[in-house]
Chain A
Amino acid sequence: MSEVVVSHHDEHHDHGPDKGLARWLFTTNHKDIGTLYLWFSFTMFMIGGVMALIIRTELFQPGLQFVDPAFFNQMTTNHGLIMVFGAIMPAFVGLANWLVPMMVGAPDMALPRMNNLSFWILPFAFAMLISTLFMEGGGPNFGWTFYAPLSTTYAPDTVTFFIFGVHMMGASSIMGSINIIATILNMRAPGMTLMKMPLFVWTWLITAYLLLAVMPVLAGAVTMMLFDIHFGTSFFNAAGGGDPVMFQHIFWFFGHPEVYIMILPAFGIVSQIIPTFARKPLFGYDSMVYATASIAFLSFIVWAHHMFTVGMPLAGQLFFMYATMLIAVPTGVKVFNWAATMWQGSMTFETPMLFAIAFVVLFTIGGFSGLMLAITPADYQYHDTYFVVAHFHYVLVPGALFSIIAAVYYWLPKWCGRMYDESLGKLHFWLSFIGVNVTFFPQHFSGLAGMPRRIPDYALQFADFNMLSSIGAYIFGFSQLIFLYLIIKTIRSGEPATDRVWEGAHGLEWTLPSPAPYHSFTHPPKVTDAEAHS
Chain B
Amino acid sequence: MTQPAKPKMGKTVAKLCLIVVGMFGFGFALVPLYDMFCEATGLGGRTGGQYTYDPATMQRDASRLVKVNFLTNTNDGMSWDFWSEKGGVRVHPGEVKEVKFFVHNPTKRRMVGQAIPSIVPYSAADFFHKTECFCFSSQVLEPGETLEMPMRFIIDPDLPNNVPTISLSYSLFDVTDMAAGKAATDQG
A–B touching in complex (CB under 8 Å): yes
**Is B108 an interface residue, CB under 8 A from the partner?**
no
Question: Bound state CA distance, A522 and B16, in angstroms?
Answer: 27
Measured between beta carbons, the chain B residues less than 8 angstroms from A189 are 1-2
Question: Bound state CA distance, A98 and B116, in angstroms?
Answer: 54
Partner of A106, one of B2, B43, B114, B178: B2
Q: What mask results when residues 238 to 257 of chain A are scored 1 for a CB within 8 Å of chain B, else 0?
A: 11110101100110010000
**Is B26 an interface residue, CB under 8 A from the partner?**
yes
Measured between beta carbons, the chain A residues less than 8 angstroms from B30 are 217, 220, 246, 249-250, 253
Known interface pairs A220-B28, A249-B34; A239-B44 also in contact (CB < 8 Å): no
**Is B27 an interface residue, CB under 8 A from the partner?**
yes
B3 in contact with A1 (CB, 8 Å): yes
Measured between beta carbons, the chain A residues less than 8 angstroms from B42 are 313
Q: What mask results when residues 99 to 125 of chain B are scored 1 for a CB within 8 Å of chain A, else 0?
A: 000000000000000101000101100
A186 in contact with B122 (CB, 8 Å): no
Partner of A213, one of B19, B28, B38: B19
Write the nearest CB–CB distance from A341 to chain B, whole angstroms.
32
Question: Bound state CA distance, A47 and B154, in angstroms?
Answer: 59
Write the nearest CB–CB distance from B171 to chain A, whole angstroms.
7
B38 in contact with A316 (CB, 8 Å): no
Most chain A Cβ neighbours within 10 Å, of B3, B8, B45, B123: B3
Q: Which of these binds chain B: A174-182, A278-286, A444-452? A: A174-182
Write the nearest CB–CB distance from A508 to chain B, whole angstroms.
12
Q: Taking CB as reference atom, which chain A residue is nearest B46?
A: A243
A232 in contact with B4 (CB, 8 Å): no
A178 in contact with B43 (CB, 8 Å): no
Question: Bound state CA distance, A13 and B12, in angstroms?
Answer: 25
Write the nearest CB–CB distance from A254 to chain B, whole angstroms.
8
Measured between beta carbons, the chain A residues less than 8 angstroms from B19 are 209, 212-213
Partner of A216, one of B20, B41, B174: B20
Write the nearest CB–CB distance from A361 to chain B, whole angstroms.
36
Docked complex: A277-306 residues within 8 A CB-CB of B: none
Number of A-B contacts (CB under 8 A): 144
**Is B56 an interface residue, CB under 8 A from the partner?**
no
Q: What mask results when residues 9 to 52 of chain B are scored 1 for a CB within 8 Å of chain A, else 0?
A: 10011001101111110111011001000100111110000000
A234 in contact with B178 (CB, 8 Å): yes
Measured between beta carbons, the chain B residues less than 8 angstroms from A238 are 75, 116, 171, 173
**Is A49 an interface residue, CB under 8 A from the partner?**
no
B1 in contact with A3 (CB, 8 Å): yes
B3 in contact with A187 (CB, 8 Å): yes
**Is A23 an interface residue, CB under 8 A from the partner?**
no
B24 in contact with A185 (CB, 8 Å): no
Question: Bound state CA distance, A274 and B9, in angstroms?
Answer: 34
Measured between beta carbons, the chain A residues less than 8 angstroms from B1 are 1-3, 5-6, 189-190, 524
Write the nearest CB–CB distance from B173 to chain A, whole angstroms.
3
Question: Bound state CA distance, A134 and B75, in angstroms?
Answer: 32
B123 in contact with A313 (CB, 8 Å): yes
Write the nearest CB–CB distance from B75 to chain A, whole angstroms.
7
B43 in contact with A1 (CB, 8 Å): no
Known interface pairs A6-B1, A524-B1; A240-B178 also in contact (CB < 8 Å): yes
B27 in contact with A243 (CB, 8 Å): no
A316 in contact with B41 (CB, 8 Å): yes
Write the nearest CB–CB distance from A224 to chain B, whole angstroms.
8
Question: Bound state CA distance, A212 and B21, in angstroms?
Answer: 9
**Is A219 an interface residue, CB under 8 A from the partner?**
yes
B31 in contact with A246 (CB, 8 Å): yes
**Is B90 an interface residue, CB under 8 A from the partner?**
no
Partner of A313, one of B3, B28, B122, B178: B122
B4 in contact with A235 (CB, 8 Å): no
Write the nearest CB–CB distance from A300 to chain B, whole angstroms.
11
Q: What mask results when residues 1 to 19 of chain A are scored 1 for a CB within 8 Å of chain B, else 0?
A: 1111110010000000000
Measured between beta carbons, the chain A residues less than 8 angstroms from B182 are 232
A239 in contact with B8 (CB, 8 Å): no
Write the nearest CB–CB distance from A52 to chain B, whole angstroms.
31
B174 in contact with A239 (CB, 8 Å): yes
Partner of A186, one of B9, B44, B173: B9
Measured between beta carbons, the chain A residues less than 8 angstroms from B8 are 186
Q: Taking CB as reference atom, which chain B residue is nearest A242?
A: B31
Measured between beta carbons, the chain B residues less than 8 angstroms from A314 are 123
Write the nearest CB–CB distance from A258 to chain B, whole angstroms.
13
Question: Bound state CA distance, A110 and B28, in angstroms?
Answer: 31
Question: Bound state CA distance, A312 and B181, in angstroms?
Answer: 34
Most chain B Cβ neighbours within 10 Å, of A105, A240, A314: A240
Q: What mask results when residues 162 to 179 of chain B are scored 1 for a CB within 8 Å of chain A, else 0?
A: 000000000101110110
**Is A311 an interface residue, CB under 8 A from the partner?**
yes
Partner of B175, one of A2, A178, A239, A315: A239
14 additional A-B pairs beyond A111-B13, A182-B13, A313-B43, beta carbons within 8 Å, are A2-B4, A9-B2, A181-B16, A182-B9, A217-B26, A239-B116, A239-B174, A243-B38, A245-B44, A250-B27, A313-B41, A313-B122, A314-B123, A524-B1
Return 23 A-B CB contacts under 8 Å, by A number.
A5-B4, A5-B5, A6-B2, A9-B3, A110-B9, A185-B12, A186-B4, A187-B4, A215-B23, A216-B20, A216-B22, A217-B23, A219-B24, A232-B178, A232-B181, A238-B75, A239-B173, A240-B178, A250-B27, A250-B34, A313-B123, A316-B43, A524-B1
- Which residues from chain B sit less than 8 Å from chain A, CB to CB? 1-5, 8-9, 12-13, 16-17, 19-24, 26-28, 30-31, 34, 38, 41-45, 75, 114, 116, 120, 122-123, 171, 173-175, 177-178, 181-182
The 10 A-B pairs at the shortest CB distance, nearest first, are namely A220-B27, A239-B173, A216-B24, A216-B23, A5-B3, A217-B27, A232-B181, A186-B4, A2-B5, A1-B1
